[in-house]
Amino acid sequence: MSASRHPALLSTDPELASFVAAEEVLQAQTLRLIPSENYVSAAVLEASGTVLQNKYSEGYPGRRYYEGQQNIDRVEALAIERAKGLFGVDHANVQPYSGSPANLAVYLAFAKPGDTVMGMALPMGGHLTHGWGVSATGSWFRGVQYGVRADTGLIDYDAVRDLALAERPKLIFCGGTALPRTIDFAAFAEIAREAGSILVADVAHIAGLIAGGAHPSPVDHVDVVSTTTHKTLRGPRGAMLMCREEHAKAIDKAVFPGLQGGPHNQTTAGIAVALHEAAQPSFTAYAHQVVANAKALAAALLQNGFDLVSGGTDNHLILIDLTGKDVPGKIAAKALDRAGIVVNYNTVPFDPRKPFDPSGVRIGTPSLTSRGLSTEHMPLVADWIARSVDAAAKGDEQALAAIRAEVTDLMAAFPAPGLPLS
Ligand code: DSN
């Protein structure tokens, strides 16, 4: 593998080219288990690196503030039509730069600073932008937060309802970043209706599962669907907001001119390609395989003596609770990294430790499934994780190096989409 697949880059900026080449090797050789990451296809990668990059196009198709939009309009209109078709929505805005700006646009569309908003607490599995204190959404708005039950690790819908009726928030967010279980959108919709709140489903993590029919869709239940495009959906780094026609104007106005300037047209093109790929039967199979792999991995981890938040998973994500082990999340995550297994340390609900040094490790199966690993490989993956955590406890660097060699060996047999063959 060499930087020569980017010859112009290599010639102009060999130093930067060497970083990209090294990242290609890293992504090819390691077992990537961060549940919010994936591998885009070569086609998405190409679309994301086109001359569409060179255009400014504030506005929307047919209504721009710059000329020369003949092709850009077609690109954006295609992405919009594909999003509408894939998710079955009236309206789609494909311009948000990423998930946080997408969510901020929702606030701008429906709330005023100081209004009460409600979301899942970050340490319980929510997202910063769902009204958590350190985020602008928690300082400009009054965030109230729900969580999961201590005994089950599941969302307590009765507590969500009580809080919503007590607080009558302007917005309620459902969805998050560390939720291993199916979200009951109908239950949230009932609560939002009673509380008179706008309901937003942030499906960034599970958008690909929804597109592939491996998780129920929120579309018939919520006012707005917010999603990134680069997680299970396997597109470029970007985001979309989808809604019924009645909210279309408010959403569009909030994204532009409310919050953003010119859309990133090269990303819009990548999103269009990813949406096309996600509409194929092979993507339906992919989405179901992601879940089957996660369930098999969860079962194998339980057999290896790990505690899992909520006892397992219904989706692509597993939250390992290491409070019963000798190794906290950060030390485990760093040891796993040295073993070629890339995860992130994460808080677990009711974590006795601090967020920067928490008790959990968050893993998921989108990336390994994109490489073709299946349920039969999951006991081996669980065994590697168990041996790595054990090695971390003992400070056994040799054991970690041995696991890394095994990981590199297996991954060489499963080429990653979008990457050169190792
Ligand atoms: N950073 C994303 C994740 O890893 O889940 C959420 O924004």
Compute how many other C-beta atoms are within 10 angstroms of the C-beta atom of residue 234: 27
Let me know if 234 is a catalytic residue. no
Measuring CA to CA, how many Å separate 373 from each of 119, 365, 416?
35, 9, 11
Per-residue pLDDT of the chain (422 residues; tens, 9 = 90+): 444 789 999 999 999 999 999 999 999 999 999 999 999 999 999 999 999 999 999 999 999 999 999 999 999 999 999 999 999 999 999 999 999 999 999 999 999 999 999 999 999 999 999 999 999 999 999 999 999 999 999 999 999 999 999 999 999 999 999 999 999 999 999 999 999 999 999 999 999 999 999 999 999 999 999 999 999 999 999 999 999 999 999 999 999 999 999 999 999 999 999 999 999 999 999 999 999 999 999 999 999 999 999 999 999 999 999 999 989 999 999 999 999 999 999 999 999 999 999 999 999 999 999 999 999 999 999 999 999 999 999 999 999 999 999 999 999 999 999 997 65
Angle of helix 378-394 versus helix 329-338 axis, rounded to 10 = 110
Cα(36) to ligand 1 centroid in Å equals: 6
CA distance readout (Å), 405 to 34, 225, 258, 409: 20, 42, 51, 6
E strands present in 301-365: 307-308, 317-321, 341-342, 344-346, 360-364
Judge contact between 291 and 209, C-beta under 8 A: yes
At residue 5, the pLDDT reads 85
**Strand residues in 65-137 grouped as ranges (E):** 91-93, 116-120
Angle between helices 378-394 and 281-303 (to 10 degrees): 40
Q: Whose CA is nearest to atom 5 of ligand 1?
A: 177
21: tokens are 């080449």
Instruction: Give me the DSSP letters along 240-264.
Output: EEEE-GGGHHHHHHIIIIII--S--
Look-up of token digits 């040891």: 335
3-class SS shares of the chain: helix, strand, coil, % to 5: 50, 15, 35
Alpha carbon nearest to ligand 1 atom 4, residue: 36
| Residue 228 bears catalytic tag | yes
What DSSP state is assigned to residue 148? B
Longest CA span, the chain: 64
Whether the CB of 99 sits within 6 Å of ligand 1: yes
Q: How far does the centroid of ligand 1 lie from the alpha carbon of residue 231, in Å?
A: 9
pLDDT at 263: 98
56 is catalytic: yes
Domains of the chain: 7-32+289-413 (3.90.1150.10), 47-278 (3.40.640.10)
Q: Nearest Cα to 136, choosing from 109, 163, 160, 117? A: 117
pLDDT of residue 1: 42
pTM for this model (two decimals): 0.97
**Which H or E run contains 277?**
helix 265-278
Q: Give the gyration radius of the chain's Cα atoms.
A: 22
Closest listed residue to residue 330, CA positions, set 311, 305, 347: 347
pLDDT of residue 219: 98
Q: How many CB atoms lie within 10 A of CB 56?
A: 15
- The number of residues in the chain equals 422
State the catalytic residue, choosing from 202, 252, 314, 321.
202
Q: What is the pLDDT at residue 326?
A: 87
Element of type H or E holding 198: strand 198-202
Q: Is 36 in the pocket of ligand 1 (CB under 6 A)?
A: yes
If one residue of 33, 103, 127 were mutated to test the ligand 1 pocket, choosing by the most ligand atoms within 8 A of its CB, it would be 127
